[in-house]
Amino acid sequence: MPIPVISLAQMREWERATWAIGQTEAEVIRLVGIRIYSFVCKLTADGDRVLILAGKGHNGDDARAAAKQIEGRDVELIEVAQPQSDLAKVKIALAKNPVLIVDGLFGVGLNRQLDEAWQNIIALVNASKIPVLAVDVPSGLNADTGESFGALVRATVTLTVGAPKIGLLAAKAVPFVGRLEVADEVGLIPCPHTAEQNWVAKSDFLNYPPAREVAANKGNFGHLAIIAGSKGFHGAAVLTTRGAQRAQPGLVTVFVPQKIYSPVAAQLQSAMVQIWKKEVSLPEKTSAILIGPGLAAPQITAAASKLTRTIWRTTKVPMVVDASALDFLAAGKTPAGALRVITPHPGEAARMLNTTVQKVQANRVASLRQLSKKFGRCWVVLKGHQTLIGRSVGKIFVNSSGNPQLAQGGSGDLLAGFLAGLLAQPALQTEVEKTIAYAVHQHGAAADELSATRKNWTIEDLADVIGDAV
């Protein structure tokens, strides 16, 4: 089950409920220390120097517990209790060039502005440019609002305890949180809270998609129709189709303008390639439609716009709209019971809402809700850091996978194809939110696995592995 994104008050209530059954704080701290240790191992190599900064509170206790666990690294633990006098110790430790700093100075309990001495400690850490693993929250962060208490550690990775806190997802906090990870098995009872936002992790997709019946045939897994590409953008049609093929629907037919038929057809083998001009005759048993990637050439805009609106308003076949076709949609209702999904990035979302990217990013949840409501209460995949999935009502799912190397042309085309290829399969249309979340998570997880082994991978590399991430 996705993990609820909670407030500080909810976290405190969860802890009290845990202590009430006899669990001890000491045991939870020990388990958190083990999780910190595991992340230190991921972020460093044998023999590396690691600097641990531990404050007075429970975050400091967590950091101290990790220090007891760490083996194979050159660990220096500094107890920072008096920042004025301890500043010199931190300077000397940083001069030894550690490869990682573990930030255990302050946790979610901080509720006051930091004085100049503490600000100097944090400024020194940030100025070092050394990667930081923050425990629970970056020191100086308000866990409810994402605001700074006067100074804020800039973390590379934040390992938050139990569940994400609301403030960690705030737009203003993102540059300081870095990559957000959750230590969700640390001796606490199951989270007793529900929330609007819910954190999606790889454990939510165990045994998903379900195994196929041994006697199944391609007719059991749907027929996806893709309408994509134009002169100068034929690669979008190819990448989209390859993404769809990785999802393994029974059949894929891609419709492209005549001018790009040859280069698209030459790069695809198992997908069928057809020409479209003003109209498209969809295959008889089409089980899903994807329209939009690469429909950007001015000479096809009018025909593509008319086609998008017609299909969106009339067909009951599941439909995914991406990229250029998002600008073709008209507000209003869609056929009753019809599955509709849109996949805008922040710039596209801003155009669709007649607002600015800054306003979309300032409140991504509200932007998603507005988009869904405006376009027939459709499902929305609001792309970007921690992609959001949801509708005008109900839970919002926050994706936990992916990294900045996904910021390459063609990344969105590949995701749209993979998502549509999944939704074309009748068995995967019964849990729409799970199928969409799985597609988004796999897209990011594949990028994470590539980035773990090489720095210069391309979207063509991603197309080879999407859907195969562990």
3-state secondary structure of 217: coil
User: CATH assignment of 218-465, given 3.40.1190.20, 3.40.190.10, 3.40.50.920, 3.90.1150.10?
Assistant: 3.40.1190.20
A 10 A CB-CB count for 82 gives 9
Is residue 213 within 8 Å of residue 272, measured between CB atoms?
A: no
* pLDDT digit string, tens, across residues 149-189: 999 999 999 999 999 999 999 999 999 999 999 998 999 99
Q: Give pLDDT, residue 209.
A: 95
Spans in the chain with pLDDT lower than 50: none
Q: Give pLDDT, residue 107.
A: 92
Helical (H) or strand (E) element with 266: helix 261-267
What does DSSP assign to residue 210? P
Nearest CA to 29 out of 192, 183, 178 is that of 183
Q: Give pLDDT, residue 277.
A: 79
- Given this chain, do its domains 3-193 and 218-465 carry the same CATH topology? no
- Rounded to whole angstroms, how far apart are CA atoms 468 and 470? 6
Instruction: Map out the domains of the chain as residue ranges.
Output: 3-193, 218-465
What does DSSP assign to residue 260? G
Torsion of CA 177, 178, 184, 190, to 10 degrees: 50
> Model's pTM, two decimal places?
0.95
Q: Give pLDDT, residue 470.
A: 78
Q: Give pLDDT, residue 287.
A: 98
* pLDDT digit string, tens, across residues 354-392: 999 999 999 999 999 999 999 999 999 999 999 999 999
Instruction: Supply 22's token pair.
Output: 């006899």
Architecture in CATH for domain 3-193: 3-Layer(aba) Sandwich (3.40)
Residues in the chain: 470
Q: Give pLDDT, residue 281.
A: 87
Q: Give pLDDT, residue 415.
A: 98
DSSP states of 51-93: EEEE-SSHHHHHHHHHHHH--SSEEEEEE-SSHHHHHHHHHHH
Is residue 184 within 8 Å of residue 3, measured between CB atoms?
A: yes
Q: Give pLDDT, residue 150.
A: 96
Distances (CA, A) of 147 to 110, 120, 152, 212, 223: 12, 18, 9, 48, 48
- Rounded to whole angstroms, how far apart are CA atoms 444 and 400? 8
Question: What contacts 133, CB < 8 A, 6 or more positions away?
Answer: 36, 39, 40, 43, 100, 101, 102, 103, 155, 156, 157, 158, 159
Q: At what angle do helices 411-423 and 432-451 cross, to 10 degrees?
A: 140
